Amino acid sequence: MEGDNCCEKLYNRIRQGKCGKFFLFLVLGGLNVADLVSDWFLFHDVHAAEEGLVFGPPDKNIWISLLFFSILGTILFSFEILNLGKDIFTGTSWVDIDIMSAIIIWFEDIPQITINCAILACREEAISIFQISKASIVILGALIRMLVGIVRACRRRHSSNKSIEEFKQCNTFKFIMFFGLSLMVIGSVIVFFFAQSSFKDGTWEFKTPRTLWEGEYHDSKYFERVGVYGNLGFLDDKDATNAQQETKNPAHSYWMKFFQIYDIHHANDVITVVVTFDTINRSNFRIQTLFSDAAENNTDECFVVKQSDWSVSRDLNCTRLSQIRGSKENIKFTFSYVKPRNHLVFGDIQYNVRGTVNGTCLTSSELNVSPTEVKADKILSPNYEIVLRYFKAKEDYESGNLVQTKSDNVTFYDPQRHLVDITNVWKTGFLGCKITGSVSPHLNSGVSSSC
């Protein structure tokens, strides 16, 4: 009998002295505060997520749900702390402690953990000690709730003033509460696992953090052979009739590569791409790629387009284009890399653009830059149209600005033959979720650029 009442003796001993009461209140109250703070930090991180490379803000319904449960949790946790204080210091409470815990478990903790698991399953999280500690606290909190519930259940089991029906109801209620606690522990372990592991090439990898705040990311999973490409709309004949479109204008499958994402992600902060073309024949163009921190990697190539079949040949030393006097225009892109930060996992690529039209230097606003229905940026003028977009080159077609053919000629990149659409490449997390980042660089008129 004495062994059966050990839980009750332990419970009463803690509550007899002032120190025991304060300790119990601080532990249980502190647990609620830590849980509440972690909920609002999660909401802040989700709501503050920025659109960049690969990742962007989660679905709006996610952060609305988090906001709702964070507000609900604030109300419930505040009441639970007051209810705990009244129970510990006066021996009575407004609402039974176990009932209050069960309400919080099922209506706040479990929904929050479920949403957290869904977010982490679709994202790459930094491998950091801070995140490990955060996940560990969530698990510890769930275990403390379970321990407190066990002690209270053990104490009540030998209560002499309960009827058989009350015992049945109590057992049913305890099962519901402990089942919810078990789900909390399982959910917390899943959060810990997703936050500290990655899924690559069909296998799970668990990493050890290098520093307290610095994390490691599997950028090769997303950036290998991925580059910034432009559609050569300046080759189009704007005066062509509808009947002439197919023969006089190239299809949207004519793309050229500006640079690889690795070029700006790892080695350069700024890359400048200048495209020069003649406006009379629309058959000669030049592509210059200039690297801010690696001038030895600069490229300068000229090409000639045969409009009868849209075949392309190299113009060595840019002889053909240099012989054209006047009637040449150019468009200059200045790309800048925004380094990763808290809410921008892989950073972002931003650009500004200037164009020379009829001898006049035009800004991006004068060039009428506007987004298209696929979130790519389209640059328009009376003489040309260029669309920017991320693509991944297929292994056999990883070349320079244009694709090198077996006959030592070149051809434009064709998304159907040579490239993989970025929405099919940037499948994120264990679930392979839909891309939330941008499919093209972001226009930013603040990036320094000149004609």
Q: Give the tens place of pLDDT for each residue, 316-364.
A: 888 777 777 667 778 889 999 998 887 888 899 999 988 876 677 777 6
- What gap in Å lies between CA 399 and CA 419, rounded to an integer? 11
pLDDT at 284: 84
Residue 314, Cβ density class (10 Å: 0-12 exposed, 13-18 middle, ≥19 buried): middle
Q: Which of 384, 377, 335 is nearest to 355 (CA)?
A: 384
Whole-Å CA distances, 105 to 65, 92, 211, 429, 432 = 16, 22, 34, 27, 30
Q: Are residues 305 and 197 in the same domain?
A: no
Which of these three, 206, 235, 251, is where a domain ends?
206
Q: Are residues 199 and 324 in the same domain?
A: no
Q: Are residues 127 and 247 in the same domain?
A: no
Phi, psi (degrees; rounded to nearest 5) at 95: -130, 140
Q: Are residues 156 and 231 in the same domain?
A: no
pTM beyond cutoff 0.75: yes
Q: Which of 215, 235, 420 is nearest to 331 (CA)?
A: 235
Which of these three, 206, 241, 275, is where a domain ends?
206
The answer to whether residue 211 sits within a structural domain is no
Whole-Å CA distances, 339 to 24, 138, 265, 347 = 46, 30, 8, 5
CA 317 and chain centroid, separation: 43
Q: Are residues 284 and 385 in the same domain?
A: yes
Which of these three, 206, 237, 255, is where a domain ends?
206
- DSSP 8-state class, residue 216: -
Low-confidence stretches of the chain (pLDDT < 70) are 1-17, 124-135, 137-138, 149, 151-171, 173, 195-218, 232-252, 267-268, 325-326, 357-358, 364-385, 398, 407-408
Q: Which of 113, 100, 115, 89 is nearest to 23 (CA)?
A: 89
Q: Are residues 238 and 375 in the same domain?
A: yes
Write out the two tokens for 223. 């950036």
The answer to whether residue 449 sits within a structural domain is no
Q: Are residues 260 and 146 in the same domain?
A: no
The answer to whether residue 450 sits within a structural domain is no
The answer to whether residue 410 sits within a structural domain is yes
Q: Are residues 238 and 117 in the same domain?
A: no
pLDDT at 276: 85
The answer to whether residue 214 sits within a structural domain is no
Q: Are residues 17 and 131 in the same domain?
A: yes
Q: Are residues 136 and 244 in the same domain?
A: no
pLDDT at 187: 81
Phi, psi (degrees; rounded to nearest 5) at 156: -80, -15
Q: Are residues 147 and 96 in the same domain?
A: yes
- What gap in Å lies between CA 142 and CA 360, rounded to an integer? 67
What is the span of the domain harbouring residue 363?
220-443
Please name the residues in contact with 337: beta carbons below 8 A apart, sequence gap of 6 or more: 264, 265, 268, 269, 270, 347, 348, 349
The answer to whether residue 99 sits within a structural domain is yes
pLDDT at 118: 82
Q: Are residues 297 and 178 in the same domain?
A: no
The answer to whether residue 38 sits within a structural domain is yes
pLDDT at 190: 80
pLDDT at 366: 63
The helix/strand/coil state of 106 is helix
Instruction: Give the total number of structural domains in the chain.
Output: 2
The answer to whether residue 1 sits within a structural domain is no
pLDDT at 367: 62
pLDDT at 127: 42
